[in-house]
Amino acid sequence: MRHAALAASILASLALAAPIAQAQDAAAKLAQDAIIVDTHIDAPGILMDTWADLGVEAKDREFDYPRSRAGGLDVAFMSIYTSPKQDADGSAWHVANQMIDGVEALVHRHPGKFAILTSPRDVSRLLEGGRVLLPLGMENGAPLGDHLANVKFFFDRGVRYITLAHSANNRLADSSYALEKTWNGLSPFGRDVVREMNRVGIMVDVSHLGDASAMEAIKLSRVPVIASHSAFRHFTPDFERNISDAVAKAVAAKGGVIQVPFGTAFIDPASAADTQAYFRAIDAFDRGNAALKAQGQPPKDRAAFGKDWDAAHPARASTLAQVLDQIDYGVKLLGIDHVGIGSDFDGVDGELPPELKTVADFPHLVAGLQARGYKDADIRKILGGNLLRAWTAIEAGAGK
Condensed to tens digits (0 to 9), the pLDDT of residues 128-144 reads 999 999 999 999 999 99
Given a contact cutoff of 8 angstroms between Cβ atoms, the answer to whether 187 and 175 are in contact is no
Is the pLDDT assigned to residue 2 strictly greater than 70? Answer: no
CATH topology of domain 24-268+318-396: TIM Barrel (3.20.20)
Residues 6+ apart with CB under 8 A from 118: 135, 158, 160
Strands (DSSP E) contained in the chain are: 36-41, 73-81, 114-115, 132-133, 136-139, 159-163, 203-205, 226-227, 257-260, 339-341
Give the CA distances from residue 298 to residues 293, 303, 306, in Å, rounded to whole numbers and listed in that order: 6, 15, 18
What pLDDT shows up at residue 283? 80
Taking a C-beta distance cutoff of 8 angstroms, is the pair 261, 229 a contact? yes
- Rounded-to-integer distance, Cα 56 and Cα 62, Å: 12
Q: Is residue 16's pLDDT more than 50?
A: no
H, E, C per residue of 135-158: CEEEECCHHHCCCCHHHHHHHHCC
Q: Where are the domains of the chain?
A: 24-268+318-396, 269-316
CB atoms within 10 A of CB 77: 26
Residue 224 has pLDDT above 60, yes or no: yes
pLDDT band at 280 (very low <50, low <70, confident <90, very high): confident
Residue 298 or 343, more confident? 343
Q: How confident is the model at residue 176 (pLDDT cuts 50, 70, 90)?
A: very high
- Read off the amino acid at residue 274: D
pTM, 2 dp: 0.93
In angstroms, how far is the first alpha carbon of the chain from the final one? 80
Query: What are the angstrom distances between the C-alpha of 137 and each of 53, 113, 396?
Result: 21, 20, 19
How many CB atoms lie under 10 A from the CB of residue 220? 16
Q: Give the CA count within 13 Å in the CB-facing half-sphere of 335.
A: 11
pLDDT at 19: 56
